[in-house]
Amino acid sequence: MLAYITGLVNQELLLRNEYLAAENRILKAQIKGRLLLSEAEKTSLAEIAHRLGRQALEDVAAAAQPDTILGWYQKLIANKFAGSKDRRRVGRPRVDAKIERLVVQMAKENPSWGYDRIVGAMANLGHQLSDQTVGNILRRHNLLPALKRKQAIRWSDFIRSHLDVLAGTDFFTVEVLTLKGLVTYYVLFFIHLESRRICLAGMTPHPDQEWMEQQARTVTMEEWGFLRDCRYLLHDRDAKFCPAFR
């Protein structure tokens, strides 16, 4: 009796499967164009298809090719372990914007610093970066490597990075009323760019070479000269800044 009942059930299942397969073929023939399935529908079909097996799937699959449906299952498994749904961006996450600005600032203010030097400086501040990360940041901001950056440094960047050792000098004139009438006096001044301190070096109606040499000796005295801690002096092409002064 048990064998008889089991046989009837198996026979009924075979007939159901045969009917569904025939119905699927008819429906597929009626559909024009590609059948669009949602992700949930693909997942449902993929799970059943995996248990059914490829050989049986060839007889009943109508929504897509068997390989395609089984491919959905492989993608389902891959997504389960990829963790990609938790990532907002492709690849490694970008560094914090504050850290990126600091790297760019270091590169601009120190043209001779290479990737390793910047990595070390950032490590001293508690930020662990790799050479590759620093290189990527500089490329995003169109900054050249150290050697080329040093050769191609902009004038504004040079001044900004040397403010503490950079001074400027120039003349302004004062009209002085004397017994001989108005006489133009030339006043030589110096300015330290970082502190904005001013030094009025001297004034004369005749800033000749001898006078200019004396002003140069005074401001560069080792003990208390105004330029004792400076490395660079900016001035224009005025002939009064003679070779002996320079």
Q: Where are the domains of the chain?
A: 2-30+37-83, 97-161, 163-234
Whose tokens are 């097996």? That residue is 53
Helix (H, G, I), strand (E, B) or coil at 173: strand
So what's the pLDDT on residue 171? Answer: 97
Hey, what amino acid is at 205? P
> Are the beta carbons of 76 and 46 closer than 8 angstroms?
yes
Rounded to 5 degrees, what are φ and ψ at 233?
Answer: -130, 125
Rounded Cα distance between 94 and 117, Å, is: 21
For the domain bounded by 163-234, which CATH number is listed? 3.30.730
So what's the pLDDT on residue 39? Answer: 78
Whose tokens are 């662990």? That residue is 128
So what's the pLDDT on residue 58? Answer: 73
So what's the pLDDT on residue 94? Answer: 72
So what's the pLDDT on residue 238? Answer: 94
So what's the pLDDT on residue 214? Answer: 96
Rounded Cα distance between 161 and 157, Å, is: 6
Chunked into runs of 10 residues, the chain (246 residues) has average pLDDT values of 63 74 72 72 78 73 75 73 56 78 86 84 88 87 68 72 91 93 95 95 96 96 92 94 94
